[in-house]
Structure 1
Amino acid sequence: MDETAARPLRADAERSMRAILEGAERVLSVDPGASMEQIAAAAGVARTTIHRRFASRQALIETLALDAARQLARAVDDGRPDTAPAQVALHRITVNVLEVKGAWAFALGLPAEPGSEAAALHEDLGRRCITVLERARADKLIDEAADLEWVRRVYYALLGESLHGGADDADVDTDTLAARIVDTLLHGAGPRA
């Protein structure tokens, strides 16, 4: 990441940085090979503004991935994974994650560089997911013999499938999708007693 991006930014610089990252997400999600010029146009800023902030296209992409990982971490935090009742936390986190992943699909689809802050955030999110699942198991929402790493992977798959679902899900709000995910995770597709 460029050194200037590590320092706190003035409000106008922060707005321009946000516009650049949002423009980059929009353009790169359609054309991963898009140029800095195309990103600048989508962000509504001069090409020189991008070049002042980022030494290279790769630096921009790394910043984009880190920013998206930070947003995902905040989304999980907002779900109060350590204090809300487990099922409430799971639902709220699911809503938040669907919103962030829906808005930042390109950035969150990038592999995090090993040892990077983004990689550390993703690893921490995996651990925090297991913690919520442990709390759900303690509340008897998940079978005590369940392999929680497998449950986490199934949960992630349900999130991914919900985000990449067909046209039938296009108009379904994130709260409804989250309810479907949590219900499927906790109850499967079998008949209810």
Structure 2
Amino acid sequence: MHPPTAARPLRADAERTVRTILDAAERVLGRNPNATLEQIAEAAGVARTTVHRRFASRDDLIRTMAIEAWRRMDAAVDAARPHTAPPLVALHQATANVIAIKHGAAYALDRVGPADGEVADIRAAVFGKCDTALRRAQAEGIVPADADLDWVRRVYLALITETVHGDSEPDTPADPDTLARRVIDTLLHGVAGTPRDR
């Protein structure tokens, strides 16, 4: 008797198809929240049956979009080396990476929250890495020693969210590095002297 095996990973071409559908869904639903799976399939350049074969329902598609976005954010924060890079470098790079991802995934991220167990787990991992960078920044005197780091993180995340949602030109967002610099400057110094991003 053979031991049970995990589900086989998708072939490369199937992965590309799923990625194409997810990208098209974010674009289409971002412009028209009532768009159908058929409209998403058309935008992705695939047959409607292909979308239905990959996703059981519209809700399943949106949930997959959100989980994929959180996985990408988790990897993007890892890439900023929150445990080893100088704290300000790590915070800046993580912020720029997350802003870039959230600009392209805002629709799904707004609709699938931490009540979803898988989203909650990935989100907690991302927040934990953020806390690591903030603790290191506090240890180096970049963040005041008496600052409540839970509050600092909440303000930091709110600034990122407002940066993404408050963009008046979402189809042509400002450079993520410029936006990240504004977020970090505002977090550490308040609005006085915060540079304009445009």
Which residue, out of 175, 182, 185, partners 2:184? 182
Q: Find the aligned partners of 1:164 and 1:55 in 2 and give their Cα distance.
A: 29
Indicate yes or no: 2:99 matched with 1:91.
Answer: no
Name the one with the larger helix percent. 1
Residue identity matched to 2:164: L
**Counterparts in 2 of 1:86-125, with a 5 A limit?**
86-112=87-113, 114=115, 116-125=117-126
* Alpha-carbon distance in 1 for matches of 2:29, 2:46: 16
Q: Distance in 2 between matches of 1:174 and 1:113?
A: 25
The runs of 5 or more residues in structure 1 that have no matched partner are: 1-5
Shift of 1:33: 2.2
List per-residue Cα deviations over 1:118-161 (Å, max 9, x = no partner).
Answer: 12111222222111111100010001110111111111121122
- 1:163 and 1:36, CA in 2 relative to 1: closer, same or farther beyond 3 A? same
Q: Tell me: CA distance 1:55–1:167, structure 2 relative to 1, closer, same or farther (3 Å).
A: closer
Normalized against structure 1, the TM-score is what?
0.89
Identity of aligned residues (%): 53
Q: Greater CA deviation, 172-181 or 98-107?
A: 172-181
d(CA) in 2 for partners of 1:168, 1:108: 19
3-state DSSP of counterpart to 2:113: coil
Distance of aligned partners of 1:53 and 1:27 in 2 relative to their CA distance in 1, 3 Å threshold: same
Q: CA deviation at 1:166?
A: 4.9
**Counterparts in 2 of 1:189 and 1:58: CA distance versus 1, 3 Å:** closer
Shift of the alpha carbon at 1:115?
Answer: 5.1
Following TM superposition, the consecutive aligned residue runs of length 4 or more in structure 1 with deviations greater than 6 angstroms are none
Measure the CA separation in 2 of the matches of 1:148 and 1:130: 7
Distance in 2 between residues matched to 1:7 and 1:180, nearest whole Å = 43
How many residues are matched?
187
Confirm or deny that 1:21 pairs with 2:22. yes
What amino acid does structure 2 have at the position aligned with 1:176? T
Which residue of the partner structure matches residue 80 of structure 1? 81
C-alpha displacement at 1:114, in angstroms? 2.7
Secondary structure in structure 2 of the residue aligned to 1:172: coil
User: With structure 2 as the length reference, what TM-score do the two structures score?
Assistant: 0.87
Distance 1:46 1:78, change over 3 A: same
Check if 1:45 corresponds to 2:46: yes
Cα RMSD of the aligned pairs, angstroms, is 2.1
Deviation track 1:153-188 (CA, whole Å, cap 9, x = no partner) reads 111121122223354996631111111111111122
1:148 aligns with 2:154: no
Gap regions ≥5 residues in structure 2: 1-6, 194-198
Distance 1:60 1:171, change over 3 A: closer
